[in-house]
């Protein structure tokens, strides 16, 4: 039996569930997942195996109307991923239906999706009644010729295996692109930084400035098998520094504890995580 391998781009509006779906298919957490929009900055790829097929997911930032230069770069990365992929999956939220944002994505798909396999994944199906779901499915397929439509719940796993099997069968024949044990092509330093940034996002909610970045400055493998990680949280203003630190440093301490626990679970070994907050004007 011949092997298959290829790239699958997940596109959609912010919070459509792209990162959750990637993590569900890959079986490990490779992409930051929060309730706050626009949290996936890098084009993180998760590698999933289905039978003899290797599916490489390009987990793009959510497509939305760009307002700032940074946002425009994120949107360009998302469309770049879709254009380069073997298969594109458009994810929409069942309870939100065809929003203006979805309409804009469909307009772009009419250009880049021509001659390509584009599937529709309607996510969060547990939030609507069956008749609403059927009407939405019919409406979307009248607007664009999708190769297949899947009704899923990325969070609960409903319908995900069906989508995964379909993707595996549509990929081109060829050798695998990554070693079997490689779940993401981001280096561990970047994965660790993403985990810390996720904890900051969850902790700070609306207070969190998007201009904040987390960088892993040092990664030291210790003889006892543990790892020492030094990270710097960069903000643009002194006022932002106070927000991230919190009263008596309680916020950054809680973030450090949560990120350290998750990174230790991810690596399967003890982690010593140290965070600093610095101002770096844009």
**Segment holding 111, helix H or strand E:** helix 100-112
Write out the chain's pLDDT in tens, 282 residues. Answer: 689 998 898 888 878 888 788 888 887 655 544 444 444 444 556 788 899 999 988 756 555 454 554 455 555 555 555 667 889 999 999 999 999 999 988 988 887 766 678 999 999 999 999 999 999 999 999 999 999 999 999 989 999 999 999 999 999 999 988 777 665 555 678 888 888 988 888 888 766 656 788 999 998 888 888 889 999 999 888 888 988 998 999 999 999 999 999 888 777 789 999 999 999 876
- CA–CA separation, 111 and 246 (whole Å): 47
Q: What is the pLDDT of residue 56?
A: 85
* DSSP E strand boundaries for 124-212: 148-151
Are 140 and 198 contained in the same domain?
A: no
**CATH code assigned at 202:** 3.30.300.20
Q: Which domain holds residue 204?
A: 188-279
Domains of the chain: total: 2
- CA–CA separation, 29 and 181 (whole Å): 14
In this structure, is residue 182 part of a structural domain? no
Helices 250-267 & 188-204 angle (0-180, nearest 10):
140
Find how far residue 83's CA is from the centre of its chain. 18
Are 47 and 111 contained in the same domain?
A: yes
In this structure, is residue 183 part of a structural domain? no
Q: What is the pLDDT of residue 77?
A: 54
Structure tokens at 164: 């995964």
Are 217 and 120 contained in the same domain?
A: no
| Under 8 Å between Cβ of 100 and 130 | no
Are 227 and 149 contained in the same domain?
A: no
Are 32 and 150 contained in the same domain?
A: yes
| Under 8 Å between Cβ of 22 and 59 | yes
Are 18 and 158 contained in the same domain?
A: yes
Q: What is the pLDDT of residue 43?
A: 55
Q: What is the pLDDT of residue 79?
A: 55
**CATH code assigned at 158:** 3.40.50.300
């Amino acid at each position: 039996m011949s092997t298959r391998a290829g790239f699958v781009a997940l596109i959609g509006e912010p919070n459509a569930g792209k990162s959750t779906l990637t993590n569900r298919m890959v079986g490990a957490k490779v992409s930051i997942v929060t309730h706050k929009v626009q949290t996936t900055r890098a084009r993180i790829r998760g590698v999933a195996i289905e039978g003899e097929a290797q599916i490489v997911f390009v987990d793009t930032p959510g497509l939305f109307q760009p307002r700032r230069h940074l946002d425009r770069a994120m949107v360009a990365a998302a469309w770049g991923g879709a254009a380069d992929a073997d298969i594109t999956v458009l994810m929409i939220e069942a309870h939100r239906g065809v929003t203006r944002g979805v309409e804009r994505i469909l307009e772009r798909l009419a250009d880049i999706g021509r001659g390509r396999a584009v599937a529709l994944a309607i996510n969060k199906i547990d939030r609507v009644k069956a008749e609403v779901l059927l009407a939405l499915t019919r409406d979307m397929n009248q607007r664009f010729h999708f190769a297949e439509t899947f009704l899923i719940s990325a969070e609960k796993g409903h319908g995900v295996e069906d989508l995964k099997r379909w993707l595996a069968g549509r990929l081109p024949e060829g050798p695998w692109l990554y070693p079997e044990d490689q779940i993401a092509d981001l280096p561990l330093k970047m994965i660790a930084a993403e985990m810390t940034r996720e904890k900051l996002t969850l902790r700070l909610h609306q207070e969190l400035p998007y201009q904040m970045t987390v960088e892993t400055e040092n990664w030291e493998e210790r003889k006892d098998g543990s790892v020492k990680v030094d990270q710097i949280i960069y903000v643009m203003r002194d006022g932002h520094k106070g927000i991230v630190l919190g009263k008596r440093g309680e916020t950054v301490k809680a973030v450090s504890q949560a990120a350290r626990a998750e990174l230790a679970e991810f690596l399967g070994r003890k982690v010593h995580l140290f965070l600093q907050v610095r101002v770096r004007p844009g």
